[in-house]
Amino acid sequence: MTNPYAPPQAAVLDIDDPRSSATQAERVTRLGAAILDGFIFAGMVYLPLILTATVSDGAGAESTSGPLIALFGLLTVVGFGAWCWLTILYVTRNGQSIAKKITGIKVVRSDGTPISLGRIFWLRNVVNGLISIIPLYGLIDALFIFGESRQCLHDKIADTIVIKA
């Protein structure tokens, strides 16, 4: 006997599942993008910072390297600002970091819908960063990529997948 108060039910066959058309990114591509993102950040922020520290460490009390220190310090701030601007721009446009854009992959929700900047920032970065104080968490997080779903722990926390763009 059917329930007269039950909602109507119908099979909807004309809706395309976004996950069916998306191809997940290869593990090696994801690793390469993560490494490339590290190099990009290092070149834009850490290199000028290291140059600033090196020049200021070698500067004596009567040194004329003050303008050089200021220049490298300014380059550090400008590099960080440029990195933030590019990252926010690419994430809000298409769920990509700088390296993900270069390698042709992007982050989406696990149902295939676009991801928000807030979800990437808070769940994939901040929450994951807080959890990473647990010893060996970073290794365990990375090893989850070898599972059938190809999701690291930070992907599972944020309910995301990485697909070919």
Question: What are the pLDDT digits (tens) for 33-73?
Answer: 999 999 999 999 999 999 888 888 776 656 667 888 889 88
Q: What is the pLDDT of residues 94-111, one digit of tens each?
A: 999 999 999 999 999 999
pTM equals: 0.80
The lowest-confidence range among 19-23, 83-87, 103-107 is 19-23
To the nearest whole number, what is the mean pLDDT of the chain? 90
**Residue from 57, 52, 46, 44 nearest 69 by CA:** 52
Residue 26 has pLDDT above 80, yes or no: yes
Residue 19 has pLDDT above 80, yes or no: no
CA atoms within 13 A on the CB side of 45: 12
Instruction: Give me the residue label for tokens 């009390």.
Output: 61
Give the per-residue pLDDT at 139: 94
CA distance 29 to 41: 18
Q: DSSP strand E in the chain: where? A: 105-109, 160-164
Give the mean pLDDT of 25-38: 96
Residue 18 has pLDDT above 80, yes or no: no
Residue 89 has pLDDT above 60, yes or no: yes
**Nearest 5°: phi and psi at 108?**
-135, 165
Please, what's the b/e burial string for 146-163 (b: 16 or more CB within 10 A of its CB; e: otherwise)?
eeeebbbbbbbbbebbbb
Question: Please, are residues 99 and 40 in contact by the beta-carbon 8 Å criterion?
Answer: yes
**What percent of the chain lies above the pLDDT cut of 90?**
73
Give the per-residue pLDDT at 17: 55
Give the mean pLDDT of 130-153: 94
